[in-house]
Amino acid sequence: MSFKVVDATPRLDQGSYPLLHMFHQLALAGGLAIMIQGKGGKFVLKVSKRYEDYLDLTMTEQYFFLLETLWIDADWGALQKATYERIPTERIISSVWQELAHSEVGMALNLTDSASPWHRRLGDWGYFLLYFSYFGFWQCTLDQEALNFSRRKIEATTLTPTEFGVFLLIIRNGPMIVMSHRLMKMGPTLDEVTIGELGLYSAFDYRDFCRANPKKPNKLLFVAHRKEILSQSLACFRGILKDLNFGSMMVGGLKPDSFEHLFVSIQSLNSKELTELTASDYYDYIVIDEFHHAAVPSYQELLGYYNPKILLGLTATPERADGRSIYAYFEGRIAAEIRLWEAIERNCSVSFIILV
């Protein structure tokens, strides 16, 4: 990986290059490298075996691995380095995230006006403005006058939330953080949105479920009807859980190594008679995509047999044409809901492509 640096001199240390500094810290915090003593008393980084596993990940898995390392494991004091800005606290971040989740995509926020609430919230985030910009949450315009004064004086004049950033923040700040017995989430009827939403939303919530139940197997069953959904969702889980070997797929000709954390198509689940191989309380957490199919026989056996601690259903079309309700499975509770027209207003949808 390389970065174009302007006006670099031998006198500048690593802290003068924010992204290089970030990746140095993430490599250590994520176990991708270790610090060893080199010649002349200097310390150098040496890549670990974990780094070789990291290179085998997909880009999606690598992204979420690094993001979760930044959020959970990295030393934020070291990340901010020797700048004069404060380190963002959990309270400040929570406030900013909640506001950004309802921001208009593509509209620049003024950070220079002292009367602006965004100036008070983000005006002194320093290097973290660039860190979250790298991960795609927003784009920011840096104050060149401040940079001319010092390379480490990172200030922004404007900050523009990206479509991806707003979408991810909506998911991360959803009510799924508060656990309940059975949950349903509804989203727009666009595959490009629901595939990403499916993996992100359920992975974050399953991670929180595992943290609430430490030292337990927390067995997971993830059911979808398409291989690409299972594959992308598994990538999200591996990245967010920071477990490069998490989960197995059972779809088509793929055979799982274990049933404990299984990503399976409904067709394979029924053909392999999984219910005869596992007890009714085997799975602690079950995710079912396209939950509006729950009323059909192929799903009835699954839902009638298993009794998980958490059942998470995701659907874009909760109202069935035949009038049969799926809400009973969730005791009438909807954990989160966004309808198509609301997704369009928030610019969280994608354009239709018609091939003739």
Residue 37 phi/psi, 5° resolution?
-80, 130
User: What percentage of the chain's residues is helix, strand, coil (to nearest 5)?
Assistant: 45, 15, 40
**Distance in angstroms (rounded) separating the CA atoms of residues 164 and 118:** 20
Instruction: Say if residue 222's pLDDT is above 90.
Output: yes
Which among 112, 121, 125, 118 has a CA at the least distance from the CA of 86? 125
What distances in angstroms separate CA 139 from CA 94, 115, 187, 216, one per listed residue?
19, 21, 26, 40
Segments in 213-332 forming alpha helices (H): 227-241, 266-271, 274-277, 297-305
37-94 confidence digits (pLDDT tens): 777 767 778 888 888 888 888 787 788 888 888 877 888 878 876 555 566 776 677 6
Least confident of 53-62, 133-142, 174-183: 174-183
* pLDDT-derived band at 220, boundaries 50, 70, 90: very high
Instruction: Say if residue 225's pLDDT is above 90.
Output: no
pLDDT for 172: 53
What distances in angstroms separate CA 124 from CA 89, 121, 244, one per listed residue?
12, 8, 35
**Distance in angstroms (rounded) separating the CA atoms of residues 147 and 34:** 32
Buried b (16+ CB within 10 A) or exposed e, 188-208: bebeebbbbbbbbbbbbbbbe
Determine the average pLDDT of the residues in 168-196: 42
292-326 confidence digits (pLDDT tens): 777 777 788 888 899 999 888 877 666 555 556 66
Q: Where is mean pLDDT largest: 7-21, 83-97, 267-281?
A: 267-281
**β-pairing, 336-337 with 310-315?**
unpaired
Q: Which domains does the chain have, with CATH numbers?
A: 1-58 (no CATH), 83-173 (no CATH), 177-345 (3.40.50.300)
